[in-house]
Structure 1
Amino acid sequence: MDKTKLSGRHAIVGVGEAGLGDAPAGATALSLQCRAARDAVLEAGLSLTDIDGVFAHWDDRASALLVAEYLGIHPRYVDTTVVGGQSNITHLVHAMAAIEAGLCDVALVTYGSTQRLDRSRSRGGHVQDPRSPISQFTLPYGMLNPVGYYAMLAQLYQHRHGGAPEHLGEVALAARRWAQLNPKAAVRTPLTMEDYLASPVIADPLRKLDICQINDGAGAMILTSASRARDLARRPVSIRGFGDTYRHHLTPLGTADWLDDGALRTVADEALAMAQMDRQDIDLVQIYDAFTINVLVALEALGFCEPGGAGAFVGGGRIAPGGTFPLNTSGGGLSFNHSGQFGMQLMIEAVRQLRGECGSRQVPGARTCLVQAGGMVMSAYMVMVLGTD
């Protein structure tokens, strides 16, 4: 199918968040995401009874059914796809397909986590079935969580391209400057390069300040057809293009070249072609920044700079407030919030920027946004292009 036929046919018409940072005592992932869902439905000018598709995931089985039951609705279509941090954006693509097929008319996409409240983000990684490939071939050798993998990615990047610690530091500093403009950000204290360089090394070369926050939080989005969106309460933000690919499970050990397998560039080209846009048509970018190295690698793979050029590209405050390349304008996972699957927050920030609702961090005249997220450890890639008329 020619995906350009889908460009602009679906729009996000409402978003909501709940429990960002530290969730209130007694909160659950389910209760938080249902709060966010109600806010998103209200913002769209709809009622819960209008929702006939539910797309949800958190650490529970049959997540979408639980959300539907909690909200008191009876959807015609549900989806609990799990592909890591980009799952919520993958849900949007699935919701587009479901709407096109007549399986639902108004889709609710939700995600929630109380990992900080529950102290459930284990430093040693999640308990695994001893028969699983991860338990047999990965965990015995000390690779217990994503920090080690992304430290290896950063080592490979520096071995191949060179680069100073300050290049990673520029990403952390820019995120903090954006967070200082965001009243909802988890961390808003000033950050200098000296502070960054003094941050302890966790897994060489990654420092503590290269690693995302661990927070609670939930988010929700409402998607419907563009024709219906025109009659609703808020300015619709349409999905102009997307590209996605799914590579392997948790670990990238079977990938020949972690830096240059071409997958992210391919899906970026697909998304832009579907949107009938070039890179220079993009007004701002949201990149999943679980680690600072993700941003450097993604900027190159997305085609915004040459291989090895991201360190110079982000220098001089280019991606910070007032710079010429607005990136992660909420403060990102590094300073705003990271509640486990940050794709949701990337999308919500993109929607609010394109509706002109971001106050002192608003990018003037923003009409297009490219969102990039990944799943697991370089296991899947998603690029989505959003726009407003």
Structure 2
Amino acid sequence: MHQQGFPSHRVAIVGAYESERRKAPGVHPYAIQAEAVLGALRDAGLALSDVDGFCTTATFGQEAGWQMSVAEVAEYIGIRPRWFDSTDIGGAASISQAGHAALAIEAGLADVVVVSYGSSGRSSPLPAPDFNTNASGPGQWEVPYGPTTVASYALAATRHMHEYGTTPEQLAAVAVQLRENAARNPHAMYREPITVDDVLSSPMISDPLHRLDCCVVSDSGGAFVMVSAERARDLRTRPVFLDGWGEAIGQVQMNQMPDFTVTSARESGRRALASAGLSTTDIDCAQIYDSFTITVLLTLESLGFCGPGEGGGFIESGAIGPGGSLPINTDGGGLSSNHPGRRGTLAVIEAVRQLRGESPGVTIPGARSCLVNGTGGTLSATATLVLTN
């Protein structure tokens, strides 16, 4: 039974496009967004003039925007939307915006919404300062000690190891599996096979996270097009329906995180599954935000695919591989394919491709449902989508 409040199965994604760029020096991030928007519309059989809703976030230096980024990007591309959204919760932003767009379409505030993202995460000449708050106010309790994003995630990994006996080998198994998925994706940034030993012998970045426990840094972008299920019937592509959605905010600073081993995916996942009328056992595959290997483990547990402390064994068992109970990140994910800064858009695109049977990576035979979860900040906010075909 569907939870009231979300228009389950009444809104569909009808177009998707991921830029093949991984290293694009000299290409402006807005140009990547324009490429993605036009590509997604072409996929859907729609024109730029059909778009009356637009979502993007471009507030980091490598994204080239600032406070009014949604207006600036729309101007650059040539969109005059009557509804728009620039919700900024880090890597989960596009997934959050997709839920808002579904509600807007259901309410008649927009007919054709494009959700877009682009970044020169690798090639931008602008500095990319670590995510943090100012050294005054709440920041005074953390910023003076110089925490970085990777160090904060390493704290969570250390705590999980202390609480549950999770091992570096179990975390490394995530990177190994996603590299195996990427080997089949001609556009993945890294495709060469790696082993657990390769991960553990790569340079230590912040104990216990090694370099191969961390996502790649790339240029890239993507976009997807949303319309009502009724309008989707008249378009040429096979629609992928939004059946469930949820979002949740945890904390910004790690000193305010009550439990380093649990993220707000516990709430956003519960809301998404409830609005879809499904449980974790009904999900055929998933696209899980993989900024670091520990992000995947914490998210799997927080979403309820395994119990607290069981993530290491779940991963080690092969459950996240193509033949497992929950194949994840079938294109290679952020650990091997691309990670330009906020990968939520690209995770949604891979879910759409998977449910269409068009993944450039691993195809899961007969997949009917895919869960997408994004994580933003330092385990700060999450958004979850349940998509079906």
Task: Sort the TM-score into its range (normalised by shorter chain).
Answer: over 0.9
3-state secondary structure, aligned to 1:219: strand
Give how far 1:266 is off.
2.8
What residue is the counterpart of 2:130 in the other structure?
125
Using a 3 Å threshold, how does the CA distance of structure 1 residues 64 and 324 change in structure 2: closer, same or farther? same
Instruction: Map 1:233-382; keep pairs closer than 5 Å.
Output: 233-248=236-251, 250-260=252-262, 263-358=264-359, 361-382=362-383
What residue is the counterpart of 2:73 in the other structure?
67
3-state secondary structure, aligned to 1:221: strand
Q: Distance in 1 between matches of 2:356 and 2:131?
A: 39
Q: 2:235 aligns with which of 232, 235, 238?
A: 232
Contact 2:284 2:325 in 1 (8 A): no
Contact 1:177 1:190 in 2 (8 A): yes
Aligned-residue RMSD, C-alpha: 1.9
What residue is the counterpart of 1:88 in the other structure?
94
Q: Distance in 2 between matches of 1:235 and 1:204?
A: 45
Q: Distance in 2 between matches of 1:5 and 1:203?
A: 40
Give how far 1:139 is off.
1.8
Give how far 1:207 is off.
0.7
Q: Distance in 2 between matches of 1:218 and 1:105?
A: 23
Using a 3 Å threshold, how does the CA distance of structure 1 residues 211 and 230 change in structure 2: closer, same or farther? same
Listed as ranges, the gaps of 5+ residues in structure 2 are 60-64
Listed as ranges, the gaps of 5+ residues in structure 1 are none
Contact 1:271 1:383 in 2 (8 A): yes
Using a 3 Å threshold, how does the CA distance of structure 1 residues 28 and 295 change in structure 2: closer, same or farther? same
After superposition, what is the alpha-carbon deviation per residue over 1:87-110, rounded to whole angstroms, capped at 9, x for unaligned? 011111111122122221110111
Give how far 1:381 is off.
1.6
Q: Distance in 1 between matches of 2:301 and 2:145?
A: 31
> Which amino acid is 1:153 matched to?
A
Q: Distance in 2 between matches of 1:317 and 1:121?
A: 39
Give how far 1:320 is off.
2.4
Contact 1:19 1:32 in 2 (8 A): no
> Which amino acid is 1:331 matched to?
G
Q: TM-score, normalised by structure 1?
A: 0.93
Q: TM-score, normalised by structure 2?
A: 0.93
Deviates more, 1:251-260 or 1:200-209: 251-260
Q: Does 1:189 align with 2:192?
A: yes
After superposition, what is the alpha-carbon deviation per residue over 1:112-131, rounded to whole angstroms, capped at 9, x for unaligned? 10121115464x62696554
> Which amino acid is 2:174 matched to?
V
Using a 3 Å threshold, how does the CA distance of structure 1 residues 63 and 5 change in structure 2: closer, same or farther? closer
3-state secondary structure, aligned to 1:109: strand
Q: Distance in 2 between matches of 1:190 and 1:168?
A: 16
Instruction: Map 1:12-31; keep pairs closer than 5 Å.
Output: 12-18=13-19, 20-23=21-24, 25-31=25-31
Q: Does 1:142 align with 2:146?
A: yes
Using a 3 Å threshold, how does the CA distance of structure 1 residues 125 and 268 change in structure 2: closer, same or farther? closer
What residue is the counterpart of 2:56 in the other structure?
56
Contact 1:241 1:275 in 2 (8 A): yes
Give runs of ≥4 in structure 1 deviating > 6 Å: none
Q: Distance in 2 between matches of 1:374 and 1:65?
A: 25
Give how far 1:359 is off.
5.2
Q: 1:200 aligns with which of 189, 200, 203?
A: 203
Using a 3 Å threshold, how does the CA distance of structure 1 residues 66 and 322 change in structure 2: closer, same or farther? same
What residue is the counterpart of 1:219 in the other structure?
222
Contact 2:3 2:276 in 1 (8 A): no
Q: Distance in 1 between matches of 2:178 and 2:300?
A: 15
After superposition, what is the alpha-carbon deviation per residue over 1:136-171, rounded to whole angstroms, capped at 9, x for unaligned? 33221121x210100000000000000221101110
Give how far 1:132 is off.
5.5
Give how far 1:360 is off.
5.8
Q: Distance in 2 between matches of 1:265 and 1:63?
A: 30
Deviates more, 1:264-273 or 1:214-223: 264-273
Q: Does 1:152 align with 2:155?
A: yes
Q: Distance in 1 between matches of 2:28 and 2:200?
A: 37
Q: Does 1:110 align with 2:101?
A: no
Contact 1:242 1:270 in 2 (8 A): yes
Give how far 1:265 is off.
2.2
> Which amino acid is 1:252 matched to?
M
Contact 1:37 1:221 in 2 (8 A): yes
3-state secondary structure, aligned to 2:387: strand
Give how far 1:19 is off.
5.0
